Amino acid sequence: MLNVVMKVPVHGQGLYDISHRVRRIVDESGVNEGLVTLFVRHTSASLMIQENAAPEARADLQNWLNRLVPERDPLYTHNEEGPDDMPAHIKAALTAVSLGIPLMSGRLVLGTWQGVFLWEHRHGPRDREIVVSVMAYR
C-alpha cells in the first residue's frame, strides 16, 4: 500500500493531464492487482477522466461549463473571494472529487482514449494537492 500526496501546480482554468504521474506512482508501488483511489483536496478543482487525444474536445468542455456556470450571476451572494470563486464551487459540485480506478496486471484499466486530469476551476496560479492511494488485492 502506498499513499502519496501529489502536488499539481496550475496557472488558471483548464484540464491538466496527470496520467503519467499517476502511472509512475503505480509503477513504483509494485502492485499488480488492486485499486487506485484519487482524491482532490479542494472545493474549487475536480478530477476528470476525459478524452486524451483531441484538445478541441477539452476546450469545448471548458467553454460549455463556463457558459452553464457563468461568473457574476446575480444569484450569487458568496462574492468576497472574487467572481471566479462561486462558479468554481458549483463546477466542483457537478464533477468528481474522488475516482476509483482498478489495476490489472500492474496497469490502470483506463480505456484507450481516457486520460486522468485535474480540472482547475479558478483563474490564478496555485499548487493543488491530490492524494493517490494504491491498494493491493490479495
Q: At what angle do helices 85-94 and 55-68 cross, to 10 degrees?
A: 110
- Round to whole Å and give the CA distance between 112 and 108: 11
Tell me the per-residue interface mask from 35 to 74 with a copy of itself, x by CB under 8 A, - otherwise: x-x-x-xxx----xxxx--x-xx-xxx-xxx-xxx---x-
Site for a copy of itself in 3-42 (CB under 8 A): 3, 5, 33, 35, 37, 39, 41-42
Residues near a copy of itself (CB under 8 A) are: 1, 3, 5, 33, 35, 37, 39, 41-43, 48-51, 54, 56-57, 59-61, 63-65, 67-69, 73, 75-78, 86, 89-90, 92-102, 104, 109-111, 113-114, 129, 131, 133, 135-138
